[in-house]
Amino acid sequence: MDAEFWHQRWQEARIGFHRQQINPQLRQYWPQLAVPAHTEVLVPLCGKSNDMHWLAEQGHTVAGFELSALAVHDFFADTQLAARQEAIGPYQCWHTEQISLYQGDFFQAEQLGRRFDAAYDRAALIALPHSMQAQYVALLANLLNPGAVLLLITVNYAPEQQQAPPFSVSVQAVSSLFEPYFTIEHCGKIAEGQENPRVASGELTFFDELCFVLKRKQY
């Protein structure tokens, strides 16, 4: 899946993945991670997620990575936050006191020489086709310090019923992808059932949102 696909989605405002509400599993499970205040939280493929504002309200700083310049612009415009801009490595970066958004290809993030102690992924892994997911997980592991924690949210449905993002990532798939680098706890599940329009229409037989707490292994 190339960059042009996502640029076009944002230009055409086909962003059904965006949610105005804070993710309920983020609210429920993030406090259990006991991430100290002021810890910087990595948020890959962040879009204009309001979850980043919630993380900032918990006392964290946030480092979001987003391909679309339009998404970055909208994130700050929607809340009328003033951000300063500068070029950092391969990225254009917009800063406020607590939130920094790096606009560019997340797969170049190692060029910054940054490492993080916490991360949140609600819509990154599931945005990537299965052929790219192992590369993404390896990069994420390299960006996190030993002992770092990751709150991961995926969706799960019968994958043969949909061949477009968000891609289905089951409990078994999470285990296969992350186990070489992380300990894994499956902590939450929301079964949307008929509340999901694709289930209600018969397009999908089920649609679940899964939540995991992962900890970067010590080496």
Q: Has 10 been labeled as part of a binding site?
A: yes
The DSSP annotation for 41-78 comes to EEETT-TT-THHHHHHHTT-EEEEEES-HHHHHHHHHH
Q: Has 151 been labeled as part of a binding site?
A: no
Here the tokens at position 185 are 């706890």
Q: Has 160 been labeled as part of a binding site?
A: no
The DSSP annotation for 73-130 comes to HHHHHHHT---EEEEETTEEEEE-SSEEEEES-GGGGGGGT--EEEEEESSSGGGS-H
d(C-alpha 55, C-alpha 22), whole Å: 10
> Counting Cβ atoms within 10 Å, is residue 146 exposed (0-12), middle (13-18) or buried (19+)?
exposed
What residues contact residue 203 under an 8 Å CB cut-off, 6+ apart? 161, 162
Q: Has 66 been labeled as part of a binding site?
A: yes
Helix or strand run (H / E) with residue 191: strand 182-191
Q: Which residues are annotated as a binding site for S-adenosyl-L-methionine?
A: 10, 45, 66, 122
* Residue positions forming the annotated binding site: 10, 45, 66, 122
